[in-house]
Amino acid sequence: MKFNYDVRVEWRANGKTDHKDGIALGGIVAGAATNGASTEKARSVPEMRKVFDAANQARAIIVFIRLDAKPFFPSKRVFDFLAVAIHDATSTKNALILSASCHGLTVDKATQTKLGDGWFQAVTLKLGDEDFKTELP
């Protein structure tokens, strides 16, 4: 199964709330190390949910953002909200299979890494007091 991701983040900067929609993701890994449970290894919706359950346990998640996507996330930025809609890329209708959201994440670090044939920014986000919540369509 291949996946497409729709991502929305909200944060505050200079006293204003800002947001970004449509961030181009290459995948998500639970925890702060790239060998954790991965959306790219998931083959079913229950396995996809386990990635977010593992992120809740590890209190961290890594999102792989294409380098040509903006904005780049500076260290220590606090996100008020992050939402990910995961779609089945093999479906002719790009069907939504799962959505996940979380409040109060902080950028711990961002590094560049190669995935497949592209370069990505690996952004490690630390969870605050709340867990990721997952919902079926």
All domains of the chain, ordered by start, with CATH? 3-135 (2.30.110)
CA dihedral (86, 33, 26, 37) positive or negative: negative
Q: Average pLDDT in the 54-82 region?
A: 85
Segment 41-69 mean pLDDT = 91
Kindly compute the dihedral angle of the four CA atoms of residues 61, 53, 91, 1, in this order, to the nearest 10 degrees. 80
What pLDDT, on a 0 to 100 scale, did the predictor assign at position 13?
77
Give me the pLDDT at residue 134, please.
Answer: 96
- In the predicted structure, residue 71 carries a pLDDT above the cut 70: no
Question: What is this structure's pTM?
Answer: 0.88
* Tens-place pLDDT, residues 96-112: 999 999 999 999 998 88
Pairing of strands 25-30, 60-66: antiparallel
Q: Is the pLDDT of residue 39 over 90?
A: no
Cross-strand bridge partners of residue 8: 21, 83
